[in-house]
Structure formats: C-alpha cells, structure tokens
Amino acid sequence: HRERFAAQVARLDAEPDLDVVGSRLRLFPSGAYGEGMRRWRNWHDSLLTHEDIRRELLIDSPVAHGCVMLRREAVERVGGWHEHGWAEDLDLWIRLAESGARFGKLARVLYAWRQHERSSTRQDARYAHERFTALKVAALDRGVLSGGRRALLVGTGTSLGRWAEALGPRVERTVEVKQPPVGARAGEPLGVETREPHVLVLVLMAPAARARWRRYLTDRGHTEMQDFIFVA
C-alpha cells in the first residue's frame, strides 16, 4: 500500500518506546489459499497491541514479515536475523520480545500478500511443523522453562501428543482436556492448577479455547507468561 511506510513512520515517531510496527493485511488471489491461511489472517489481524502480540508468539507468527517496520537499533541489539533452520522471522520476533522490545500493529489493511504454491512458506523445510515446534521449544527453554522448571502439558488430540514428544523430559505430566468452563465449578478441569516450580503449557489451537482458559486461569490468580503459556 502506498501509504504504509508513512503510516508506520508516523506511528514510530508518535511512540518512541515502540520498536516493531506491522499492519493488517489481505491475502490474494482468493482462490490460491485455503481455510488454514484464512484463519491465520483473521488471527493475525486481531492482534493489535503489544500485550496481545507478545502472549501469542508461540502460537504462530503474529506479525507478517512483509508488513513490518523495525527500529534498526532494536534489531542490532539482538544480532539481527539468525539462521537455525527454522522460520527466521518468528525467531527474530521472539528474541526481540525477550530483549524488551515493544510491538504494535496498525488497524489498517496496508499490505497484500500474494499466495502461490511455490512460496517458501509452503515449500521450504524451514517452515515445516516440526521446525516451528523446535523453534518454540527453544524459546520455552530460554523463558518459562528455564532454570529446570517443568511443564504440566494440557491439551487434546494429536497436537498434545506432538508437544509431549517435543518437550520430552521437560514434561512433569500430561493432562488431556475437552472444553473447560470459564467460571462454573461443575465440571471444573481438575489437575491443572499449578504453582512453582511447574508451568502450565497449554496446547490449544483455537483462539476461543485460549480465551476461555486465559480467563479461567487469570480469575484464579495465575499470571500469563509466568505461571502459564499457550503454544500451538
């Protein structure tokens, strides 16, 4: 979009503590992507604040690389882009967040992302499920699972099994759940209350499920990114 650079510069000038600013986007052409990319786009465009972006970093990339404007000093502070055989953009966002960088996103659609079968996103091995999981495990090891903390792994289905295998001995135990209530005591999900030294790692793919669990846990005094974290 011809106004994207100007809009992002204006946002960075207005907020000196902001280091990364993206925008909403559209995918095109309409017949070149499926329901999965449509869900990702809707999720991406719903995350506008630093807090929303930060807490969803281990779900998927919450800021599309092509629509981002960055402060040079923030990128240099973390050593720029790294090559580890996984998604270099999500790796950078995570390291920036770990360094204290702040994120934001313009609520305007200012970027159009062409979809095609030969794109790196679809063809490059760095963007395979297994490599995204390895990237997220490395982030957990530097973050909430550092210092030998262990995980209470909560989720359902094949995703829960995949994460149990990826985390291996870091998992204290695994709890399979269905749809937990937000506040009702009847049917309350047992076995998931956690305090030091264990961290609740929730494998939940659907935004609505994450919202239910976020409310459930915060209402009970748990702190996100400290006592519990969402992954996908």
- Give residue-wise pLDDT tens across range 171-206: 999 999 876 555 545 445 545 665 657 999 999 999
Report the chain's mean pLDDT, rounded to a whole number. Answer: 91
3-state SS, residue 164: helix
Half-sphere exposure of 98 (CA within 13 A, CB side): 19
Least-confidence region, from 2-6, 54-58, 153-157: 153-157
Position 34 confidence tier, pLDDT thresholds 50, 70, 90: confident
pLDDT of residue 154: 95
Residues ≥6 apart with Cβ < 8 Å to 25: 41, 44, 45, 64, 66, 67, 109, 110, 111, 112, 113
Mean pLDDT, to the nearest integer, of 7-14? 99
pLDDT of residue 119: 72
Question: What is the C-alpha to C-alpha distance for residues 94 and 39, in angstroms, rounded to an integer?
Answer: 22
Residue 87 has pLDDT above 90, yes or no: yes
Q: Which residue has the higher pLDDT, 190 or 69?
A: 69
Q: Pick the closest to residue 160 from 128, 126, 198, 201 (CA basis).
A: 201
pLDDT of residue 190: 46
pLDDT of residue 126: 81
- pTM score: 0.90
Q: Pick the closest to residue 47 from 37, 36, 34, 61 (CA basis).
A: 61
pLDDT of residue 228: 96
Residue 71 has pLDDT above 60, yes or no: yes
Q: 231 to each of 97, 170, 181, 213, how far by Cα in Å? A: 16, 15, 20, 13
Peptide bond between residue 207 and the one before it cis (omega within 30 degrees of 0): no
Question: What is the C-alpha to C-alpha distance for residues 155 and 108, in angstroms, rounded to an integer?
Answer: 34
3-state SS, residue 82: coil
Q: Which residue has the higher pLDDT, 29 or 19?
A: 19
pLDDT of residue 187: 46
Question: What is the C-alpha to C-alpha distance for residues 180 and 228, in angstroms, rounded to an integer?
Answer: 16
Question: What is the C-alpha to C-alpha distance for residues 162 and 133, in angstroms, rounded to an integer?
Answer: 9
Mean pLDDT, to the nearest integer, of 99-127? 88
Strand segments (E) across 36-102: 69-70
- Give residue-wise pLDDT tens across range 53-64: 999 999 999 999
Question: What is the C-alpha to C-alpha distance for residues 141 and 138, in angstroms, rounded to an integer?
Answer: 5
